[in-house]
């Protein structure tokens, strides 16, 4: 079992650039969650999908953030344009239907200069 896979692991970009983060959930899991973690605010849920459908995006900070899940094995989180305050670690997690446990990926550490 490969676990949740995220890429890239590290991303350094300049303010104004577009950033795309990628996630492959555990095979068979039908829920996918995107989180952001900072020292000040901890781990915050941005958006989650059930069966590839976005259910709750109330945590998305603003319109610069968007997320898609075109199929059961792939999701993207895009920031356009990026700003220095977007610097954080972004985690993807997946969950099997009927279970409560979420399985996290290794995260993408984003630095926006």
Partner 1 sequence: SQKIEQNSEALNIQEGKTATLTCNYTNYSPAYLQWYRQDPGRGPVFLLLIRENEKEKRKERLKVTFDTTLKQSLFHITASQPADSATYLCALLSSYNTDKLIFGTGTRLQVFP
Residue 41 backbone class (left: φ over 0; alpha: ψ -120 to 50; beta: rest): alpha
* Contact flag: residue 56 with partner 1 (CB under 8 A): yes
Give the residue with the Cβ less far from partner 1, 72 or 81: 72
What is the C-alpha separation between 29 and 50, in angstroms, rounded? 9
Applying the rule CB under 8 A, the residues between 65 and 94 that interact with partner 1 are 91, 93
Nearer to partner 1, 35 or 65 (CB): 35
Separation between Cα atoms, residue 71 and residue 81, nearest integer Å: 25
Contacts with partner 1 in 11-50 (CB under 8 A)?
31, 41-45, 48, 50
Q: Is 53 in the site for partner 1 (CB under 8 A)?
A: no
Binding flag, residue 97, partner 1 (CB under 8 A): no
Give me the half-sphere count of Cα atoms (radius 13 Å) on the Cβ side of residue 47. 19
| CA 89 to chain CA mean position, Å | 9
Binding stretches for partner 1 (CB under 8 A): 4, 31, 41-45, 48, 50, 55-56, 91, 93, 100-107
């Amino acid at each position: 079992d490969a676990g949740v896979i995220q890429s890239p692991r590290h991303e350094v970009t300049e303010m104004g650039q577009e950033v795309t983060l990628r996630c492959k959930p555990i095979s068979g899991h039908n829920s996918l969650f995107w989180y952001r973690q900072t020292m000040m605010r901890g781990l915050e849920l941005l958006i989650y999908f059930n069966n590839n459908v976005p259910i709750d995006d109330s945590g998305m900070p603003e319109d610069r953030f968007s997320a898609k899940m075109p199929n059961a094995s792939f999701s993207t989180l895009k920031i356009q344009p990026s700003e220095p305050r977007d610097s954080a670690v972004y985690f993807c997690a997946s969950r099997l239907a009927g279970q409560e446990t979420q399985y996290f990926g290794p995260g993408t550490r984003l630095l926006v200069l």
